[in-house]
Amino acid sequence: MNEILSSVLMLIGATFALLAGAGVVRMPDLFTRMQAATKASTLGIGCIILAVAVHFGELGITTRALATIIFVILTAPVAAHMIARAAYFVGVPLWDGTIIDELHGHYDRRTHKLARPDDPLATLPMTVDLKRLTGQTVLVGYGRVGRRIGEALIANAVSIVVVEDNREIVEGLREKNVPAVFGNASEPGVLIQAHIHKASMLVIATPDSAEARRMARIARAVNPRIEIVVRTHSEEEAVLLEKEISGKVFMGEHELAIAATRYVLERYAVGR
């Protein structure tokens, strides 16, 4: 019985070790290689040493085997982290397929310290209830359009997170207990602060189409199923955006025309 168990454990461990080797050769950049190497090999060696303990069955050997496993599990992640950190600072190139480098701009290149901008408005405070940060609507821009959308959504008890690049507006919103992040939403770090990866909808109420495209691209990359609503003021942009973003595009003049027409028609219906 012991033999069968230890043989199975040994083979499982060897399989993971083989996967680690395959991973380290096949993965496209340093960081992915390191993931494959350290994770799989730690598990592999853990299984193999467990197999040794099971095989011999004596107390002294089992104790030493457990000590080895605990040691490897404690130290392998630390070593991996240090290599990754050193490699990142040295400037090892990331894989071409990398979509977002979340650490970019956060580290002081000289002292290697985390240089978090001393800006409490740029990050959501820890006091925000996590329930409001899942399935929420991210509203970019709280100006003439965004404010009306935001107020209506709040009145309808839809949880929103606002991204604005006007500090006073962000402060005002926070006073009213609406989660708000200060920053330019076309930067990935800012949208991520608004928890875009867990959001169910993104409403872009700012008028710039180029920025809107960038925001939509970031959002889709991080959260492929998010629904996107965009504001625009030009017919050509509307056509382009609908194709590129696969979201709902609202064109200012168009909506105005629809609302005015509806009013006129209602007035005629009432007058009759």
Partner 1 sequence: MSIPDISSAASAIALAMLSVALLLAFIRLARGPTLPDRVVALDLISILTAGTTAVFAIAAEQPVFLDVALVLALISFLGTVAFARYLERQGFNE
Amino acid symbol at 246: S
| Six-digit token string for 92 | 């090892």
User: How far apart are alpha carbons 9 and 43 in whole angstroms?
Assistant: 11
Closest CA to 30 of 70, 73, 88, 117: 88
- 238: exposed, middle or buried (C-beta count within 10 Å: 0-12, 13-18, 19+)? buried
Closest CA to 200 of 173, 227, 221: 227
- Least spacing, CB of residue 98 vs partner 1, in Å: 16
Verify binding: residue 14, partner 1, rule CB under 8 A.
yes
**What mask, x for binding partner 1 by CB under 8 A, covers residues 145 to 164?**
--------------------
**What mask, x for binding partner 1 by CB under 8 A, covers residues 233 to 262?**
------------------------------
Choice between 7 and 246, CB closer to partner 1: 7
Choice between 48 and 249, CB closer to partner 1: 48
| Six-digit token string for 97 | 């397929």
Task: For the segment 31-60, give every residue that binds partner 1 (CB under 8 A).
Answer: 33-34, 37-38, 41-42, 44-45, 48-49, 51-52, 55-56, 58
With CB under 8 A as the contact rule, which of the stretches 85-93, 157-165, 172-180, 196-204 interacts with partner 1? 85-93
| Six-digit token string for 73 | 């599990």
Verify binding: residue 7, partner 1, rule CB under 8 A.
yes
> Does an H or E element contain 162, and which?
strand 160-164
- Least spacing, CB of residue 115 vs partner 1, in Å: 16
**What mask, x for binding partner 1 by CB under 8 A, covers residues 89 to 128?**
xx-x-------------------x----------------
Closest CA to 48 of 76, 34, 69: 69
| Six-digit token string for 61 | 């050997």
Q: Count of residues for the chain?
A: 272
Q: What angle do CA 102, 106, 108 make, to 5 degrees?
A: 140
Contact positions vs partner 1 (CB under 8 A):
3-4, 6-8, 10-11, 13-15, 17-18, 20-22, 24-25, 30, 33-34, 37-38, 41-42, 44-45, 48-49, 51-52, 55-56, 58, 61, 64-65, 67-68, 71-72, 75-76, 78-80, 82-83, 85-87, 89-90, 92, 112
